[in-house]
Amino acid sequence: MPVEQVYLIRHGETDWNAEKRWQGTIPTELNSLGYQQARLLAQHLSPISFSAIYASDLPRAHQTAQALAELSQQTVQIEADLQEVNVGILQGHTGDELRTRYPDIFAEWINGSMDFAPPDGESRRDGQIRMARIFDAIVARHDGIVAMVSHGGTIRLLLRMLFSDHQAIQDDQYTLPNTSYSRLVRANDGAWTVHELGVTPHLSASQGREDQQRVL
């Protein structure tokens, strides 16, 4: 039986997330809150029997997946193609810094073009193609339920490709908080549907997270 469900999971918080600093493919690690979020996510999803758990090779994603794998007695399988979009020279800076240092390049990226690539980086389209390729490869390897721990940008790009007729997804009318997950279910005809989108039921109100965006 082929894969029936996929959990697309964004990694936990890093110091750069808290500073609103662009990470891209920089190998940042979880901060203390990020580790706590990952543990809460793992506890929440512990009743699920995952057939495989995958993660980007960036530490923040691998560390998030490791918390999930430890409770399910699995090994995290690393796939570099689950990495965040490489935004080149924009990486490592805050938005305010980029408006000063690289105003034209930053404005072009913020404009949302799928084909613009910052110097030393990749375009959104290239990131989307990469993410779709590894998504298809992973679901072809397994059955049951699979978890993929990735990054906000690449998860959004994958969702856009999978759900071209879903207006909320195409217009980015949702959020993907740290350790949120989006649950995809495959119908008998092979088509994917979104049953949960960017949800964080494992995070408490004290962490300032809005719970439960659902697309049914």
| CATH code (residue 38) | 3.40.50.1240
Q: Is residue 154 part of a domain?
A: no
pTM above 0.85, yes or no: yes
Please tell me the predicted confidence (pLDDT) of residue 208. Answer: 46
Q: Is residue 9 part of a domain?
A: yes
Give the residue-averaged pLDDT of 108-133.
98
CA angle at 200 for the pair 198 and 203, rounded to the nearest 5° = 155
Please tell me the predicted confidence (pLDDT) of residue 25. Answer: 98
Residue 142 among the catalytic residues: no
Of the candidates 13, 62, 79, 84, the residue annotated as catalytic is 84
pLDDT > 90? residue 71: no
Please tell me the predicted confidence (pLDDT) of residue 189. Answer: 87
Residue 44 among the catalytic residues: no
Number of domain units in the chain: 1
Q: Is residue 161 part of a domain?
A: no
| Cβ proximity of 168 and 188 under 8 Å | no
Q: Is residue 134 part of a domain?
A: yes
| Cβ proximity of 202 and 40 under 8 Å | yes
pLDDT tens string 169-183: 999 999 999 999 999
Please tell me the predicted confidence (pLDDT) of residue 213. Answer: 47
